[in-house]
Amino acid sequence: MGPRYLLDELKWQVDKDTAIKKLRVMEDDLEDFDEIYARTIELIKPVYYMGREHVERIDGDDVVIGGTCFHSHVISVNLKDADAVYPYVGTSGRAAYEYAISLDDDLYKFWADQICELALRSAAVGFIQTAKQISGTEKLASLNPGSVVDWHISQQRPLFDLIGSVFEKTGIFLEESFLMRPVKSSSGILYPTDREFVSCSLCTKQNCPNRRAPFDREKFEKEYFPGSAG
């Protein structure tokens, strides 16, 4: 097993006015929102846990990393020239999640949940910068189970096993459905690259609220799945 890095002092920020605008909080609800915001912010504790492992073998669509086998054609293509990679998990924190699900009002739950998401996104910026320093590279791309078009969400299990001690270090629990709790958590594999890669560019799903890049049919058919046209 390679080294592990617990990153639990990352800088993050959730500006209240920005949150109010993004969540479209009505003026009549501002007093209630202030209370939910203050308590959620108090409980948020972003933490990332990352390892460094080596790509040991690529056999067709099977990729062996640190003794763990993952199955994905996209991963086999993207990691064909990689040596060290960085599996990780991250969350906005278990205490804030438990507070959010304890709320009786669905609107209050939504507010707390979304504040946690904004916090995780903010902390992710610092996480990537720290990961770049650790890896000694200028550019990292991320592969995420369930987001990469042919990397099934069930591959969360071997990813968690590869990282090890995920619950103990972060409070993240993997359900039988392979969804993570707290909900506002992320997982994946970072790898050094000179090429821009966003998994959304290979996804044909329409009207996705979390889309970060348009579907790139040329890339999909030429670089990853030749012969799939038509």
pLDDT tens per residue across span 143-162? 999 888 899 999 999 999 99
**SS3 category, 219:** helix
Query: Per-residue pLDDT averaged across 208-226, rounded?
Result: 79
**SS3 category, 80:** coil
159/69 Cα distance (integer angstroms): 9
Whether residue 199 has pLDDT greater than 90: no
Task: Give 3 or 205, the one with higher predicted confidence.
Answer: 3
DSSP β-bridge partners for residue 69: 64
Q: What is the pLDDT of residues 16-42, one digit of tens each?
A: 999 999 999 999 999 999 999 999 999
Alpha helices by DSSP H, the chain: 16-22, 30-43, 73-78, 94-102, 106-135, 156-163, 166-170, 217-219
213/164 Cα distance (integer angstroms): 32
Q: What is the pLDDT of residues 173-196, one digit of tens each?
A: 999 999 999 999 999 999 999 888
Residue carrying structure tokens 């460094």: 52
pLDDT reported for residue 55: 96
pLDDT reported for residue 90: 98
Q: Where are the domains of the chain?
A: 4-195, 198-230
Q: What is the pLDDT of residues 57-112, one digit of tens each?
A: 999 999 999 999 999 999 999 999 899 999 999 999 999 999 999 999 999 999 99
pLDDT classification of 229: cutoffs 50, 70, 90: low
Q: Are 89 and 171 in contact (CB under 8 A)?
A: no
Residue 10's alpha-carbon distances to 49, 103, 125, 230, in angstroms, are: 12, 27, 9, 47
pLDDT reported for residue 20: 97
Whether residue 210 has pLDDT greater than 80: no
136/128 Cα distance (integer angstroms): 12
CATH 3.40.109.40 fits 4-195, yes or no: yes
pLDDT classification of 121: cutoffs 50, 70, 90: very high
Whether residue 227 has pLDDT greater than 70: no
DSSP β-bridge partners for residue 58: 63
Q: What is the pLDDT of residues 38-61, one digit of tens each?
A: 999 999 999 999 999 999 999 999
